[in-house]
């Protein structure tokens, strides 16, 4: 284990160049000075830089290698987006500045909303939600107020078992009752099962599209019809819209409410808790329910409107994560409509290519063709007492990040793989080769897989205990007189 910066920083060194003041702070009225050390590491600038470079090189990140996490869309994010979001004119704004002073920022929000409306065939978008799950919650609130405004009491939301895990959680948070609907043997919604489950009490069908098996609902037209005939709304979790850009406009096929994950589809880095953005789009009859403020254009000027009759109100103190919107808008402008279509086409081609290769060694319960991702299964290696966890850990030894594992729940020993559109063929081939090697190792030396990872800074962790009773280590506590370990 490498030492922490607190253990390294005991040299009485400093990395600051501040001059010593020519005044005595003790004589300034009202200022309390601390006597004695403050418990911060004492370390020179060069050693600080080495410390963090060493940590970064131990870590796995998108600049180091492929990230095949299903559903997460960990793709390359062009650096120019960061530069643009960091421009003083964007980074230095305050959300409470007068509309007249921030015309450029308002124009960007207005233009981004228009672009998202065009891409998705929706009438209006709110940029306020700051995550995909936050968008789901916003969408459910819109649905709730819509039915309330019509004097209808509808309590249940149908969620297919192929939906993303956040969907039922958002349903519950908004006071609806989730009703799980089983997928058919192809991993899709069977319109007859839906028709049997839907009723006067159904508010919404909440659909992840493509679903978490990476499949597009073949019967979508019929599904929409059934939902609308029952007087319910259809919600689309569009977090993985990178499979549909330029191919499907959800609004045009009758989706009433949807969210996007700008931090997946539209190239903002995410993971590690980075800021996200989950805009919510609706068709015309629901536009008035979106959160305020909204940006409108009147007489060639942009302004924010803080009131609307039916609005659900605010879901975020300001206007959402504005800098994420800047990056997404930069990405959309750089790609253009043909570029966005190419994004989705490449995502689909890459996923199908990899599915065919990985499918030579692993079970594929739903062989597709898939959209942007596919779900393989490690169940064929169970005969050697090797589980999906072992496969995931062994991948780390080969310098690769593991896919999403054990999700979706409807696939035993699931390995959910999304290669994304920005990876080249050699990278995909390498991933497939390593998956093959691991399948061979499972047969020949299963003990090795049980011990993996062997080459990482820490070996196999007790994940359950790490989550339930973490040992928080902060040796700096020592210098504050605490009992750190």
Ligand X SMILES: *Cc1c(COP(=O)(O)O)cnc(C)c1O
Applying CB under 6 A, which residues contact ligand X? 71, 131-133, 164, 166, 208, 237, 239-240, 261, 276, 278
Cα end-to-end distance, the chain, whole Å = 14
Of residues 133 and 140, the one with the C-beta less far from ligand X: 133
The DSSP annotation for 283-316 comes to -GGGGGGS-S-EEEEETTEEEEE---TT----SS
C-beta of residue 155 within 8 angstroms of C-beta of residue 140: no
Please give the residue whose beta carbon sits closest to ligand X in the complex: 132
In whole angstroms, how close is the CB of 70 to ligand X at the nearest point?
8
Mode of pairing for the β-strands spanning 156-160 and 202-208: parallel
Dihedral angle over CA of 397, 387, 375, 359, nearest 10? 80
Residue 218: Cβ within 10 Å count: 12
In angstroms, what is the minimal distance from the CB of 237 to ligand X? 5
CA dist., res. 175 & res. 312, Å (int): 15
CB of 172 to ligand X, least distance (A): 15
Q: Shortest distance, CB of residue 447 to ligand X, whole angstroms?
A: 35
Question: Do β-strands 294-298 and 257-260 pair in parallel, antiparallel, or remain unpaired?
Answer: unpaired
Nearer to ligand X among residue 133 and residue 226 (C-beta):
133
Please give the full DSSP string across 350-368, using - where no structure is assigned: HHHHHHHHHTTTSB-SS--
Please report, for residues 11, 71, 360, the alpha-carbon distance to residue 139 in angstroms, rounded to integers and kept in the order given. 55, 20, 41
In the complex, the smallest distance separating the C-beta of residue 210 from ligand X, rounded to whole angstroms, is 9
Residue whose CB is less far from ligand X, 132 or 178: 132
Pick 208 or 350: Cβ nearer ligand X: 208
For ligand X, the closer CB: 241 or 330: 241
Q: 258: helix, coil or strand?
A: strand
User: 258 or 354: whose CB is closer to ligand X?
Assistant: 258
- In whole angstroms, the minimum distance from the beta carbon of 278 to ligand X comes to 6
Q: Which two tokens stand for residue 282?
A: 């609706």
Between 41 and 419, whose beta carbon lies closer to ligand X? 419
When the beta carbons of 263 and 387 are compared against ligand X, the nearer one is 263
C-beta of 125: minimal distance to ligand X in Å? 16
Nearest by Cα to 418 from 67, 164, 106, 145 = 67
- 29 burial level (CB within 10 Å; 0-12, 13-18, 19+): exposed
* Cβ proximity to ligand X, 125 vs 302, nearer residue: 125
| 437-416-282 Cα angle (round to 5) | 155
């Amino acid at each position: 284990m490498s030492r922490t910066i607190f253990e390294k920083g005991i040299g009485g060194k400093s990395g600051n160049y501040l001059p010593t003041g020519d005044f005595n702070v003790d004589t300034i009225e009202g200022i309390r000075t601390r006597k004695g050390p403050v418990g911060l590491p004492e370390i020179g600038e060069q050693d600080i830089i080495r410390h963090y470079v060493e940590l970064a090189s131990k870590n796995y990140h998108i600049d180091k290698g492929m990230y095949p996490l299903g559903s997460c869309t960990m793709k390359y994010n062009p650096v120019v987006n960061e530069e643009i979001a960091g421009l003083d004119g964007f980074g230095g704004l305050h959300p409470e500045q007068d509309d007249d002073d921030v015309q450029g920022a308002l124009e960007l929000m207005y233009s981004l909303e228009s672009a998202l409306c065009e891409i998705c065939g929706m009438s209006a978008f709110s940029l306020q939600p700051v995550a995909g799950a936050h968008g789901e919650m916003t969408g459910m609130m819109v649905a709730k107020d819509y039915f309330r405004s019509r004097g209808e009491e509808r309590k249940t939301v149908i969620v297919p078992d192929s939906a993303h895990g956040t969907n039922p959680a958002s349903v519950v948070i908004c006071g609806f009752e989730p009703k799980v609907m089983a997928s058919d043997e192809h991993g899709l919604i069977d319109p007859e099962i839906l028709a049997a489950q839907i009723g006067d009490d159904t508010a919404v069908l909440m659909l992840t599209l493509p679903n978490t098996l990476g499949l597009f609902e073949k019967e979508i037209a019929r599904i929409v019809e059934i939902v609308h005939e029952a007087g319910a709304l259809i919600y689309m979790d569009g977090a993985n819209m990178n499979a549909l850009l330029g191919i499907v406009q959800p609004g045009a096929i009758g989706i009433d409410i949807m969210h996007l994950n700008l931090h997946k589809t539209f190239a903002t880095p995410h993971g590690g808790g980075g800021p996200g953005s989950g805009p919510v789009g609706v068709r015309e009859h629901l536009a008035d329910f979106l959160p305020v403020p909204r940006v409108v254009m009147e007489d060639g000027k942009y302004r924010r409107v803080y009131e609307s009759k039916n609005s659900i109100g605010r879901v975020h103190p300001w206007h959402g994560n504005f800098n994420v919107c800047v990056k997404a808008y930069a990405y959309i402008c750089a790609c253009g409509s043909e570029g966005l279509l190419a994004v989705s086409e490449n995502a689909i081609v890459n996923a199908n290519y990899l599915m065919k290769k990985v499918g030579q060694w692993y079970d594929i319960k739903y062989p597709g063709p898939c959209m942007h991702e596919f779900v393989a299964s490690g169940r064929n290696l169970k005969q050697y007492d090797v589980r999906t966890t072992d496969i995931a850990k062994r991948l780390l030894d080969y310098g690769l990040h593991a896919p999403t594992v054990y999700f979706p729940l409807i696939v035993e020993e699931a390995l959910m793989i999304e290669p994304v559109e920005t990876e080249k063929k050699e990278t995909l081939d390498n991933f497939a080769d390593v998956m093959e090697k691991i399948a061979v190792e499972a047969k020949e030396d299963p003990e090795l897989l049980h011990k993996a990872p062997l080459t990482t800074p820490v070996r196999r962790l007790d994940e359950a205990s790490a989550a339930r009773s973490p040992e928080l280590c902060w040796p700096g506590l020592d210098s504050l007189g605490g009992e750190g370990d």
